[in-house]
């Protein structure tokens, strides 16, 4: 049985909703179906370049925008790119990543804070 990452699940769902086969999407992106499948299943890391290409294809060619695709790719990759962040932001990300045990209330508060920040509030 093949496991699929959250990134792969949303990409696959967008493809299916647009009635596009993996092989057709691969052709449009000028890659092999095996390569695209490996991104969906997590056998290959999803580079920022490929997140952008896939997001653009889904949004512009299929009319299927996928919110938070970069975040889903980072989670699937098990890493976050810190390039371009200030040292303070890098320390904040690193400190947050080291925290292991959140109770549900704290997790909910962090989630609300991140959602508000992403909306610019």
What pLDDT does residue 3 have? Answer: 62
The reply to whether the predicted model has a pTM over 0.85 is no
Say if residue 94 is in the same domain as residue 65.
no
On whether the CB atoms of residues 20 and 48 are closer than 8 A, the answer is: no
Say if residue 104 is in the same domain as residue 46.
no
Domain total in the chain? 2
Range from 19-23, 42-46, 95-99, 104-108 carrying the lowest mean pLDDT? 95-99
Say how many Å lie between the first and final Cα of the chain, rounded.
Answer: 43
Is 1 within a domain?
A: no
What pLDDT does residue 107 have? Answer: 84
Say if residue 73 is in the same domain as residue 33.
yes
pLDDT of residue 1 exceeding 50: no
Give the Cα separation of 50 and 52 in Å (integer).
Answer: 5
Residues spanned by the domain of 31: 6-77
Is 26 within a domain?
A: yes
CATH number, residue 55: 1.10.260.40
More confident site: 14 or 85: 14
Q: Convert 79-101 into a string of H (helix), E (strand) and C (coil).
A: CCCCCCCCHHHHHHHHHHHHCCC
Is 82 within a domain?
A: no
How would residue 53 be classed by pLDDT, with cut points 50, 70 and 90? very high
Say if residue 63 is in the same domain as residue 42.
yes
Reported as a single tens digit per residue, the pLDDT across 79-114 is 777 888 899 888 888 887 788 787 888 888 988 988
């Amino acid at each position: 049985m093949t496991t699929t990452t959250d990134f792969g699940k949303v990409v696959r769902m967008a493809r299916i909703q647009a009635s596009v086969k993996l092989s057709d999407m691969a052709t449009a992106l000028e890659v092999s179906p095996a390569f695209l499948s490996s991104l969906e299943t997590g056998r290959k890391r999803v580079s920022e370049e490929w997140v952008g290409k896939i997001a653009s294809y889904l949004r512009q060619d299929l009319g299927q925008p996928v919110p938070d695709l970069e975040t889903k790719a980072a989670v699937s990759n098990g890493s976050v790119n810190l390039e371009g962040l200030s040292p303070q932001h890098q320390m904040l990300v690193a400190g947050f990543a080291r925290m292991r045990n959140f109770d549900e209330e704290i997790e909910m508060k962090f989630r609300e804070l991140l959602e508000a920040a992403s909306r610019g509030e």
